[in-house]
Chain A
Amino acid sequence: MELWNIFDKEWVPVGTWVETALQWVVDNFRFVFQAIKVPFDIVLTGLEDGLTGAPDLLMLAIIVLVGWQAGGRKLAMVTGASMIAIGLMGAWEESMVTLSIVLTCVIFCSLIGIPLGIMAARNDRFWTVLRPFLDLMQTIPSFVYLVPIVMLFSIGNVSGVIVTFIYALPPVVRLTNLGIRQVREDMVEAARAFGASQRQTLYKVELPLAMPTIMAGVNQTIMMALSMVVVASMISVTGLGQMVLRGIGRLDMGIATVGGLGIVFLAIVIDRISQSFGVSARDRGHKKWYETGPVGALRKLAGKG
């Protein structure tokens, strides 16, 4: 062999190792991964059936009302216009599928990410261990773990949710951790001084004060989930992403544009609504949520009539 070109030979067969290891996991632990799929499957199926099954106009009305409640009349108008645009372009069905995938992902990211963030804020050592994992999840190109995900979970919308979940989880953990750590020391001390337990301090003082930061994390998570839509369609996830992918495959600029615009409009709707949830009560003039929007209007009517 030529000494000058020693790197012609593969000395460290990383690829083979990984493949063997993965194959071994698949052979022996597939049932574990199938079990993990179950809760994702249940939530996703429920949402998807609901959103696509409901009459289009009913869904439109619900989304506009949610927008109104979250951010007032102006937001209601923005959400209404965006959703109507999606419908008129003929991407309604697909956008409902994508919406249900994103919502499922957000539900699981919050359910798992917020408690993780709280634990990280309480325990410096846990945070030090957790951080490299979060960095890894965010920086590894998502294409890389598409393969193992498919091998472990097979293809389809549920696997798509899991890929998206892994990619979108870090921000909510990070910002929950940050939000809890940022709560002023004397706020927590005052709660303890008046006899609150750790749990009461968390629910009555720390979480409410950290909520705007946590909601910023949830918002980021949502945006990252949306950005995964096209990538996820490569493992047979349906919805708006699939339209874009199909357009690329067939060099059909029309369908790709419709899919792309659909994603943009959906992103506007979800982003604005989730940002409005994060506005603290102080900035809303200390009105309770049920005193504003359609619910507030209804209550006023009921009170007067």
Chain B
Amino acid sequence: MADVEIECRNLWKIYGAQEKEALKAVQSEGLSKEEVRDRFNCVLGVRDASFSVNKGEIFCIMGLSGSGKSTLVRHINRLIEPTAGEIHVAGHRVDTMGEAELRKLRAESIGMVFQHMALWPHRSLAENVGFGLEVRDVPLAKRRKAAEEALAAMDLQGWEDHYPDQLSGGMQQRVGLARALAADPDILLMDEPFSALDPLIRRQLQDQFLGLSRKLKKTTVFITHDLDEAIRMGDQIAIMNDGVIVQTGTPEEIVTNPKDAYVAEFVKGISRVSLVRAKTIMSPLDGHNPTSKTVPLDSELGEIMDQFMDDQAPVTVVDTANSAVGIITITDALRALRG
């Protein structure tokens, strides 16, 4: 199994003065969010969430507004105190960690990007980006160099001495990314980083981030309310509803096998062409003669459809050793496309 970098176990967050009493009641009686609000005047933010993120992987958390995504991600660097549960980050117990150790973890190992950028308007870009180093008393020259490098990585060289209000939204969020990367942390937490941007810039930044991510291999928790984005970015996707993680899986698993009506509703409009792969839809050879048309095991549905352009004969699926392992008929392919 791969190395686990972030793990949360049975995490609960209830906002309000009576969180402990409310927790007990919810755990024993299974109250709903509304019942908790009416009885205890508390808001149920996260309900018994467990998940783990492997080193180097992008873990997307997806859900509608108010489903508890921001609350959940803020537990990883403990910007929010959990009501109950365990948080492990890079082998450390974050939920019981002391104040000094926690600050060190935040400054050195975890970078964060915010939905509304949250750049400090009174600081130049270099000062914004170097903030994490500044609070750890890294000398100015070194800070400056790290800031220049991080800005350059986001194509912002030469902007060091400008101020956030002199930049467009897309550029500002690139500064937000540079700030998160400046201390070279192993972990990135991104709370809807691209939601406030217009579609074109958003696409651009997604690509830029994906490229960077493949190179740097940072463990990333990426929040979004947009399933398309989650599918583009995520190695794993967790779907949240009313504080509960309802399903976790790869994009393909989520789309082809939604666990309940809520998830099904989400995936309804999603195109399967680049999600579904040959190995999921093929049927065993079972005496069929292999055909001349072949595709590899993990080719996408789109490539398989291409094979049916000229004639409708079944397609043979081959493994890496080029031996036939399964077969796909045009009916299989059409059925997969429809979902």
Interface set of A (CB-CB < 8 Å, partner B) = 184, 186-187, 189-197, 200, 204-205, 208-209, 280-282, 286
CB neighbours (8 Å) of A191 from chain B are 120, 131, 135
Interface residues of B in 159-190 (CB under 8 A from A): 162-163, 165-166, 179, 183, 189
> From residue B101, how far is it (CB to closest CB) to chain A in Å?
11
- A194 B121 Cβ-Cβ under 8 A: no
**Neighbour of B103 across the interface among A197, A280, A281, A282, CB < 8 A:** A197
Within 8 Å of chain A (Cβ to Cβ): is B244?
A: no
20 of the cross-chain contacts (CB-CB < 8 Å) are A186-B114, A186-B116, A187-B118, A187-B120, A189-B114, A191-B131, A193-B79, A193-B112, A194-B107, A194-B112, A194-B135, A194-B179, A194-B183, A195-B106, A204-B131, A208-B120, A209-B120, A209-B121, A209-B122, A281-B122
- A190 B106 Cβ-Cβ under 8 A: no
Give the complex CA separation of A197 and B135 in angstroms: 8
CB neighbours (8 Å) of A280 from chain B are 122
- B107 A205 Cβ-Cβ under 8 A: no
CB neighbours (8 Å) of B229 from chain A are none
- B135 A200 Cβ-Cβ under 8 A: yes
- A193 B77 Cβ-Cβ under 8 A: yes
Give the complex CA separation of A209 and B164 in angstroms: 14
- B79 A194 Cβ-Cβ under 8 A: no
Q: Can you name the residue of chain B whose Cβ is closest to the Cβ of A201?
A: B135
CB neighbours (8 Å) of A187 from chain B are 118, 120
CB neighbours (8 Å) of A193 from chain B are 77, 79, 106, 110, 112, 189
**Neighbour of A190 across the interface among B104, B112, B122, B165, CB < 8 A:** B112
Give the complex CA separation of A281 and B166 in angstroms: 13
Within 8 Å of chain A (Cβ to Cβ): is B45?
A: no
Give the complex CA separation of A194 and B183 in angstroms: 9
**Neighbour of B118 across the interface among A186, A195, A196, CB < 8 A:** A186
Q: Knowing A194-B132, A195-B135, say if A189 contacts B79 (CB, 8 Å).
A: yes
Given contacts A194-B107, A195-B136, A286-B163, 16 further A-B contacts (CB under 8 A): A186-B116, A186-B118, A190-B114, A190-B119, A191-B131, A194-B106, A194-B111, A195-B104, A195-B105, A195-B107, A195-B108, A195-B132, A197-B135, A209-B121, A282-B121, A286-B166
- B118 A190 Cβ-Cβ under 8 A: yes
CB neighbours (8 Å) of B179 from chain A are 194
Q: Can you name the residue of chain B whose Cβ is closest to the Cβ of A286?
A: B163
CB neighbours (8 Å) of A205 from chain B are 120
> From residue A291, how far is it (CB to closest CB) to chain B in Å?
12
B contact residues, range:
20 to 34
CB neighbours (8 Å) of A196 from chain B are 103, 131, 135
CB neighbours (8 Å) of B105 from chain A are 195
Q: Knowing A186-B116, A197-B103, A282-B163, say if A192 contacts B132 (CB, 8 Å).
A: no
| Interface contact tally, CB-CB below 8 A | 68
Interface residues of B in 210-259 (CB under 8 A from A): none
CB neighbours (8 Å) of B103 from chain A are 195-197
> From residue A214, how far is it (CB to closest CB) to chain B in Å?
13
Give the complex CA separation of A282 and B116 in angstroms: 19
Q: Can you name the residue of chain A whose Cβ is closest to the Cβ of B103?
A: A195
Interface residues of B in 122-137 (CB under 8 A from A): 122, 124, 131-132, 134-136
Q: Can you name the residue of chain B whose Cβ is closest to the Cβ of A207?
A: B122
Give the complex CA separation of A195 and B163 in angstroms: 22
> From residue A286, how far is it (CB to closest CB) to chain B in Å?
5
Q: Knowing A190-B118, A194-B132, say if A282 contacts B104 (CB, 8 Å).
A: no
CB neighbours (8 Å) of B166 from chain A are 286
CB neighbours (8 Å) of A204 from chain B are 131, 134-135
CB neighbours (8 Å) of A197 from chain B are 103, 135
CB neighbours (8 Å) of A208 from chain B are 120, 122
> From residue B90, how far is it (CB to closest CB) to chain A in Å?
15
Q: Can you name the residue of chain B whose Cβ is closest to the Cβ of A205?
A: B120
Q: Can you name the residue of chain B whose Cβ is closest to the Cβ of A189?
A: B79
> From residue A24, how far is it (CB to closest CB) to chain B in Å?
44
CB neighbours (8 Å) of A184 from chain B are 118
Most buried by A among B103, B131, B166: B131
CB neighbours (8 Å) of B107 from chain A are 194-195
- A194 B131 Cβ-Cβ under 8 A: yes
CB neighbours (8 Å) of A186 from chain B are 114, 116, 118
Give the complex CA separation of A209 and B112 in angstroms: 21
CB neighbours (8 Å) of A189 from chain B are 79, 114, 118
Give the complex CA separation of A195 and B103 in angstroms: 4
Give the complex CA separation of A190 and B175 in angstroms: 13
Q: Can you name the residue of chain B whose Cβ is closest to the Cβ of A208?
A: B122
Give the complex CA separation of A187 and B119 in angstroms: 7
CB neighbours (8 Å) of A194 from chain B are 106-107, 111-112, 131-132, 135, 179, 183
Give the complex CA separation of A205 and B105 in angstroms: 20
